[in-house]
Structure 1
Amino acid sequence: MNRALIVLDVQESFRARPEWDRIADPDIAEPVNRLVRLARAGGDLVVWVLHAEPGSQDVFDPALGHVRLLEELEPPRPGEPVLHKTSHNAFTTTNLQRLLTEAGVRELTVCGIRTEQCVETTARVGSDLGYRVVFVTDATTTEPVGGLTAGEVTERTEAVLRDRFARIATVAELEASKV
């Protein structure tokens, strides 16, 4: 196994926020599930990452019960790590790098919620750590940020990652390449 799928923050915390009605793709679980099935079929490691802010008393506080995968997601299988992070990227506050190293992973496929935040940051850090990174743009979602529409945020993210930190791909492209 030299590849891993990193599923970032596809969690009920986001659905519990008032901003959920502005999210670009409320059906994000569907493309993520396709990637999960593809990764499992290829024998790749699937790593689930949840954002938590213990003691914050908001939707990211695990004590309130929202820090769990979206119910529409295929559940993690035995051996698939479920990590809890407190930073934007999935590396800094978890043992992700150790898990990937022990598994011999050299390529990461990343997807999840907040295209320009946690998914992009994880892609950048992963690239800096020497992993080949595939950013699956249509298996991410976000909301409008700083006067930009969600679509503009996604376009900007693709532009800054492309050919520097990650290869940009779609779920359909990855499915076609596995046939």
Structure 2
Amino acid sequence: MNRALLVIDVQESFRARPLWDHIAHPGISDPVNRLVRLARANGDLVVWVLHTEPDSGGVFDPAQGHVRLFEELERPAPGEPVLHKTSHNAFTTTDLQRRLTEAGVGELWVCGIRTEQCVETTARLGSDLGYEVVFVADATTTNPIGDLSAEEIIARTTAVLRDRFARIATVDELAAEAA
């Protein structure tokens, strides 16, 4: 079965927000880069997804210059799509599903920023569409919301996804499986 890694919203827009000072894992680029290298070594498709809010005037407005991948991330290789979405999940406002279908993808690895929002929503929708989903928890991050710490939100997200919408894995576990 073919597989794809979805790198969701690891973009400068988040660093441009005051909440970045409270992010759980500011070094998210390290585990994401490890996943990208692992996916490429496995011959998997890597799909880069950026959130946009055109004409909003905010940090997700492309005109503001923050809608770009973190500088320290691996650069997209030739043939790796960079999709721009305007919804919380990576499917609804992009041609992601068509691309995955054309590539014969049946399994998705998901990672990125806003564990409980765009990454979780993409994992849930991917599961509903019939993909086997692997949620790579240590390659996601988020910030506190209300009385919940970022770590509590990540724990809650993995708990509700586990064995219902996704298999939960770490980068190390996926690397060990590939060895």
**TM-score class normalised by the smaller sequence:** over 0.9
Aligned to 1:81: 81
Alignment TM-score, normalising by the size of structure 1: 0.99
Q: Write the deviation string for residues 65-120 of structure 1: whole angstroms up to 9, x where unpaired.
A: 10000001000001000000000000000000000000000000000000000000
Structure 1 residues 88-167: aligned runs within 5 Å: 88-167=88-167
CA distance in 2, matches of 1:146, 1:135: 24
Q: How many residues align?
A: 179
Aligned residues: CA RMSD: 0.6
**Counterpart residue type for residue 162 of structure 2:** R
Aligned to 1:32: 32
Q: CA deviation at 1:145?
A: 1.1
Classify the secondary structure of the residue corresponding to 1:5. Answer: strand
CA distance in 1, matches of 2:147, 2:117: 16
Classify the secondary structure of the residue corresponding to 2:57. Answer: coil
CA distance in 2, matches of 1:151, 1:19: 15
Runs of at least 4 residues of structure 1 off by over 6 A? none
CA distance in 2, matches of 1:17, 1:149: 17
Q: CA deviation at 1:146?
A: 2.4
CA distance in 2, matches of 1:123, 1:51: 16
Classify the secondary structure of the residue corresponding to 2:105. Answer: coil
**Counterpart residue type for residue 111 of structure 2:** C
Structure 2 gaps of 5+ residues are none
Structure 1 gaps of 5+ residues are none
**Counterpart residue type for residue 47 of structure 1:** V
